[in-house]
Structure formats: C-alpha cells, structure tokens
Amino acid sequence: DAKTTQPPSMDCAEGRAANLPCNHSTISGNEYVYWYRQIHSQGPQYIIHGLKNNETNEMASLIITEDRKSSTLILPHATLRDTAVYYCIVRVERSGSARQLTFGSGTQLTVLP
Amino acid sequence: GAGVSQSPSNKVTEKGKDVELRCDPISGHTALYWYRQSLGQGLEFLIYFQGNSAPDKSGLPSDRFSAERTGGSVSTLTIQRTQQEDSAVYLCASSYSGRANNEQFFGPGTRLTVL
C-alpha cells in the first residue's frame, strides 16, 4: 500500500470547517483513499473512502485531486467531539487473505471552543 | 444495533501470567481482526479470521500469542507468560466480509498493563 503524509497537528475553531490534507503521491490506480479517526481512549472509527470521485456522507466530505496524488477530508462544521487523530491511508482491494489496516502517525485535530 | 464489544476494558497482570481477551463482533460480520496499539503508536496487525478459512496469523509477534474464533463469532486472544512489552491497547475489529473496501468497525479495546 502507498505511503501517506499528513501534518502532525491542526487546530480548528468550533463551528468552522476543518480541512485535513493528505499526500499520497505514489498511489496506484487501484488504491482507495480511506480516512479513519481515533478519539482519545476509543477504537478507530471509519469516516469515508473514495477512489477517484469526491465523496460525501453524513460525517464528512472527501475531495481527491484529479491526479489522485493528494486528498482533503472536510468536516463541514467541526464540533468539540471531532477532536481526534485522523488517519489517511491508501489501500488496494486484494483478493485472498487479510486486509488489515496500517495507520501512520495521522493528524491530531484539536477543535477549539 | 450493537457494535463490537470487548472485555475486559482494562486488565492489569503480573509478568509471567497468562491473559485472555475477548471480542464479540457485530452479528453477521464474517471477518474479525485483532490489532494492538502501543502508547502514541499506530495499529499493529496481529491476526485475521475470515469465515471458516484458516486464520492469517502473520502478525502475531511470538508463539506466546494465540487466538481462536469459536462458531464464527466470538474470538479470544490469549497471551501466555506475559511480558512488560506486551502492555498495549488490544483492539478488535469486524467487517461484513474480507473485502478490502468494507469498513472495519472497532471495539473500544482492552488496555493491558503488565507489571
């Protein structure tokens, strides 16, 4: 799976949009971009994933550049409960055995009141 | 519906003792994963179960670690002769199938402290 690069930390004011960048310049054509987050003392939580097109769900939007070398996770109206470490990963859909997740160091998002 | 549950939430044990950690996956999920996460670190894959297939044990760090999944549902991770370096949060996740783009739902974890 391709390597990703994320800033170690970001702050965002409550109620504002949080835009979390991720670089994945070595991404392959069949690799998806996934975002998970981990709130302190909890297990990781899936947020969203995409291949080429921008995606939106009830939690967030995912914007993938046309060359797919970077993406941005957008939390449209950040709340204090969105304070967490956000992980961007890229992974290929494989047939066969384990499809385990591998997280890097992620971005610590702190939403400020 | 109910999510992934794990027990105990916290376990403190003495070096050399055996421990058992339990995971109840989401009903109907055929894939089950065990990970561990040391303080400030990312996820470390341990073992993966998919349906009735032989488990993928490639992430188990030593032969002191073993896991089983009975009846395709509940799973138990056993650590024998615990060492201080085994201290970590042990996370269980399940997904509907083993396909890569099926999201994994995580339990709250078991925090293991080996004194």
Q: What's the average model confidence in pLDDT over B3-27?
A: 96
**The amino acid at B6:** Q
Pair of tokens at residue A23: 């670089």
- Tabulate helix, strand, coil % of chain A (nearest 5): 5, 45, 50
Q: Which of A4-18, A51-65, A85-99 has the lowest mean pLDDT?
A: A85-99
If one counts every other C-beta atom within 10 angstroms of the C-beta of residue A48, the result is 19
pLDDT of residue B102: 67
User: Is A97 in Cβ contact with B103 (below 8 Å)?
Assistant: no
pLDDT at A93 over 70: no
Q: Are B35 and A100 in contact (CB under 8 A)?
A: yes
Tell me which residues of chain A, numbers 16 to 35, contact chain B at a CB-CB cutoff of 8 Å: 32
Report the distance separating Cα B45 and Cα A30, nearest Å.
Answer: 22
Residue A82: per-residue pLDDT: 97
Q: What does the pLDDT look like over B68-112, one tens digit per residue?
A: 998 879 999 999 999 999 999 999 999 887 565 668 899 999 999
Q: Do residues B110 and B9 lie in contact, with contact meaning Cβ atoms separated by under 8 Å? A: yes
Average pLDDT, chain A: 89
Contact A102 B99 (CB under 8 A): no
Question: Does A98 sit within 8 Å of B100, measured CB to CB?
Answer: no
Q: How high is the pLDDT of residue A94?
A: 57
Cis peptide before B8, with omega less than 30 degrees from 0? yes
C-alpha dihedral (A54, A57, A59, A65), degrees to nearest 10:
0
Rounded Cα distance between B14 and B83, Å, is 8
| Partner-chain residue, chosen from B42, B98, B105, that has the shortest CB–CB distance to A104 | B42
Strands of the sheet containing A45-50, edge to edge, are: A9-13, A107-112, A84-92, A31-38, A45-50
pLDDT at residue number A30 = 83
pLDDT of residue A96: 45
Alpha-carbon distance of A50 to A71, in angstroms, equals 10
Q: Of B4, B42, B93, which is closest to A103 when you measure between CB atoms? A: B42
Closest C-alpha among A79, A73, A81 to residue A106: A73
In whole numbers, what is the pLDDT of chain B averaged over residues? 90
How many CB pairs below 8 Å do chains A and B form together?
Answer: 66
Quick: pLDDT tens for A41-52: 888 999 999 999
In Å, how far is A77's CA from the nearest CA of chain B? Answer: 24
